[in-house]
């Protein structure tokens, strides 16, 4: 009887353990189950083209897992990111594959980090030559053969947005979109600069056992997803090897563990559209000086060029007169302000000090202020009217003209308002919105999520 009781208790014990294991496993996120994300605002690839793109980022992630075992490779990538060659803490894969003559490798901030160029290309080619990466060969074969095609890296932002919104793009056009868009993104990189920046004070530039990074591929548009966290192990002969385990990567993880995400992201920003001032003194220059945002408008992980930090655009609508025709026309130039995910997560001020108007002329009696977060899909439209009073000989011609400006965004327009010139210069230094001051200038707000200041100078 005692023996039978013992066997029963033993079975009960193992049964209880199995229940605990089942309950524990059910608490973990199952990244293979897309239904899990039904209420998590996640978008998975849907078309064959999107699925191929996600698979391409996975192939690149798998290559990085292998070649990052060479510390000089990881240092080369981090040097490119920390150099600031591209905005938003990233580097385009294509640029890393062109160490001979590529503009990245001639960039002063990269060169000062004393990285011997070519390690990334060498080991990347070596791993891809194994034959396990058909999509990398399809899209990057020319670069790996040291004969880059004539695909231009200066594709206009508007062209990219048009391509992203259509499904009948030619293969060549889509290749441009992919090759220029796939980047290695290092969110919260500033948290790790002491150790991971080759110019940092404690960077370990050699020897296995040095810094490692978690890697993520863009198989979804989401704020969390699966990543591979590497760690060093020592075999029976005392040799160190890099292996990895699956982890969940989100903003909280990326803030404390160095992470490289193979994302599909925006192109480098175009040059500012505001023309240089040509009017004699006095010149009234208005700035967007300080900006902060408390909402993540882009995803942490993305295969649709909608990942990383946020790109806030500040547009200026004004009326001008064409001297040759007398026609009064609307204008709507805009400049971007980039905020990292950490800037937004910490709700901290950034100081772009970008020009909103190079010279707000007296005849331009009002201006429209438009603020939006740019995406690669969706559209929103600014509309309204602006007026001006223009001298034609000894006669003043007053005109009002309507404007309609369509921008690419999935999010609501953050601000679309008219500002009277006389009112602005009369009240620009006063607490007009009751939100206090930043650096001596009143804080203005857009849509409840973006604060900014608009100071001016007279030259």
Q: What is the mean pLDDT of residues 378-383?
A: 91
Asked if residues 357 and 367 have their Cβ atoms less than 8 Å apart, the reply is yes
Q: How many CB atoms neighbour CB 392 within 10 A?
A: 10
Residues 295 and 323 in one domain: yes
Residues 145 and 182 in one domain: yes
Report d(CA 167, CA 373) in Å as an integer.
24
The counts of H helices and E strands in the chain are 13, 21
Residues 452 and 327 in one domain: yes
Write the CB contacts of 78 (distance below 8 Å, at least 6 apart in sequence): 186, 196, 197, 198
Residue linked to tokens 């200026």: 316
Q: What is the mean pLDDT of residues 386-392?
A: 81
277-332 confidence digits (pLDDT tens): 444 568 899 999 999 999 999 999 998 888 999 999 999 999 888 888 888 889 99
Q: What is the mean pLDDT of residues 260-267?
A: 86
Does the pLDDT of residue 38 top 60, yes or no? no
Structural domain includes residue 249? yes
Report d(CA 444, CA 91) in Å as an integer.
33
Residues 291 and 260 in one domain: no
- Give me the helices (H) in 83-198, please: 93-96, 108-111, 119-128, 134-144, 157-164, 171-181, 193-196
pLDDT of residue 279: 47
The closest alpha carbon to 215, from 205, 226, 223, belongs to 226
pLDDT of residue 148: 47
pLDDT of residue 256: 95
pLDDT of residue 309: 93
pLDDT of residue 29: 43
Q: How many CA atoms lie within 13 A of 459 on its CB side?
A: 13
Percent of the chain with pLDDT over 70: 80
Reported confidence tier of residue 35, pLDDT bands at 50, 70, 90: very low
Phi, psi of 65, rounded to the nearest 5 degrees: -55, -35
Reported confidence tier of residue 209, pLDDT bands at 50, 70, 90: low
Residues 258 and 300 in one domain: no
Structural domain includes residue 253? yes
Structural domain includes residue 406? yes
Number of domains in the chain: 2
- Give me the helices (H) in 188-332, please: 193-196, 251-256
Asked whether the CA dihedral 255, 260, 261, 265 is positive or negative, the reply is positive
Reported confidence tier of residue 219, pLDDT bands at 50, 70, 90: very high
Asked if residues 64 and 258 have their Cβ atoms less than 8 Å apart, the reply is no
Residues 299 and 360 in one domain: yes
| Cα separations in angstroms, 409 against 86, 171, 198, 269, 306 | 22, 25, 37, 16, 10
Structural domain includes residue 306? yes
Residues 327 and 413 in one domain: yes
Report d(CA 377, CA 303) in Å as an integer.
12
Q: Which of 208, 235, 264 is the last residue of a domain?
A: 264
Report d(CA 369, CA 405) in Å as an integer.
12
Structural domain includes residue 425? yes
Reported confidence tier of residue 208, pLDDT bands at 50, 70, 90: low
Residues 180 and 222 in one domain: yes
With H, G, I as helix, E, B as strand and everything else as coil, classify residue 403.
strand
Percent of the chain with pLDDT over 90: 55
- Percent helix, strand, coil in the chain, to 5, is 30, 30, 40
Does the pLDDT of residue 16 top 80, yes or no? no
pLDDT of residue 262: 97
Structural domain includes residue 238? yes
Reported confidence tier of residue 243, pLDDT bands at 50, 70, 90: confident
The closest alpha carbon to 264, from 176, 194, 335, belongs to 176
Higher pLDDT, 358 or 362: 358
Structural domain includes residue 353? yes
Reported confidence tier of residue 272, pLDDT bands at 50, 70, 90: very low
Report d(CA 102, CA 113) in Å as an integer.
16
Does the pLDDT of residue 253 top 70, yes or no? yes
Structural domain includes residue 32? no
Reported confidence tier of residue 350, pLDDT bands at 50, 70, 90: very high
Residues 188 and 98 in one domain: yes
141-172 confidence digits (pLDDT tens): 888 886 444 333 333 333 333 333 333 434 45
Most confident of 4-8, 126-130, 201-205, 269-273: 126-130
Residues 415 and 354 in one domain: yes
pLDDT of residue 202: 60
pLDDT of residue 34: 42
Residues 241 and 302 in one domain: no
Residue linked to tokens 């080619």: 125
Residues 370 and 439 in one domain: yes
Q: Which domain holds residue 288?
A: 284-458
Report d(CA 136, CA 55) in Å as an integer.
10
Q: What is the mean pLDDT of residues 248-267?
A: 92
Mean pLDDT of the residues in the chain = 82
Does the pLDDT of residue 371 top 50, yes or no? yes
């Amino acid at each position: 009887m005692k023996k039978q009781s013992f066997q029963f208790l033993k079975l009960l014990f193992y049964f209880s353990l199995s229940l605990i294991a089942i309950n524990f496993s059910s608490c973990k996120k199952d990244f293979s189950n897309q239904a899990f994300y039904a209420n998590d605002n996640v978008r998975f690839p849907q078309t064959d083209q999107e699925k191929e793109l996600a698979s391409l980022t996975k192939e690149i992630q798998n290559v990085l897992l292998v070649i990052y075992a060479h510390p000089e490779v990881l240092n080369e990538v981090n040097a490119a990111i920390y150099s600031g060659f591209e905005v938003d803490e990233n580097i385009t894969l294509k640029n890393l594959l062109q160490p001979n003559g590529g503009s990245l490798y001639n960039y002063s901030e990269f060169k000062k980090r004393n990285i011997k160029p070519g390690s990334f290309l060498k080991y990347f080619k070596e791993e891809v030559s194994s034959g396990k990466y058909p999509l990398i060969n399809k899209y990057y074969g020319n670069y790996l053969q040291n004969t880059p095609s004539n695909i231009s890296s200066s594709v206009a932002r508007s062209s990219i947005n048009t391509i992203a919104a259509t499904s009948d793009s030619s293969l060549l056009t889509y290749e441009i979109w992919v090759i220029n868009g796939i980047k290695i993104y290092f969110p919260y990189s500033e948290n790790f600069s002491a150790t991971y920046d080759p110019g940092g004070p404690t960077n370990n530039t050699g020897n296995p056992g040095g810094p490692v990074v978690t890697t993520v591929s863009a198989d979804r548009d989401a704020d969390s997803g699966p990543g591979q966290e590497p760690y060093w192990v020592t075999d029976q002969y005392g040799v160190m090897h890099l292996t990895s385990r699956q982890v969940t990567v989100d903003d909280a993880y990326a803030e404390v563990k160095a992470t490289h995400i193979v994302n599909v992201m925006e192109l480098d920003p175009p040059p500012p559209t505001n023309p240089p001032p040509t009017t004699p003194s006095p010149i009234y220059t208005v700035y967007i000086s300080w900006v902060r945002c408390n909402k993540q408008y882009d995803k942490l992980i993305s295969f649709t060029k909608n990942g990383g930090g946020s790109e806030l655009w500040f547009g200026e609508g004004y009326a001008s007169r064409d001297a040759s025709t007398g026609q009064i026309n609307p204008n709507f130039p805009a400049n971007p302000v980039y905020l990292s995910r950490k800037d937004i997560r910490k709700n901290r001020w950034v100081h772009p000090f970008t020009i909103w108007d190079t010279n707000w002329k007296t005849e331009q009696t009002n201006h429209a202020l438009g603020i939006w977060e740019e995406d690669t899909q969706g559209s929103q439209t600014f509309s309204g009217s602006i007026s001006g009073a223009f001298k034609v000989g000894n006669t003043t011609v007053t005109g009002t003209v309507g404007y309609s400006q369509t921008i690419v965004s999935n999010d609501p327009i953050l601000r679309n308002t008219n500002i009277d010139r006389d009112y602005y210069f009369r009240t620009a230094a006063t607490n007009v919105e009751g939100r206090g001051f930043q650096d001596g200038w009143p804080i203005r707000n857009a849509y409840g999520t973006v604060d900014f200041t608009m100071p001016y100078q007279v030259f």
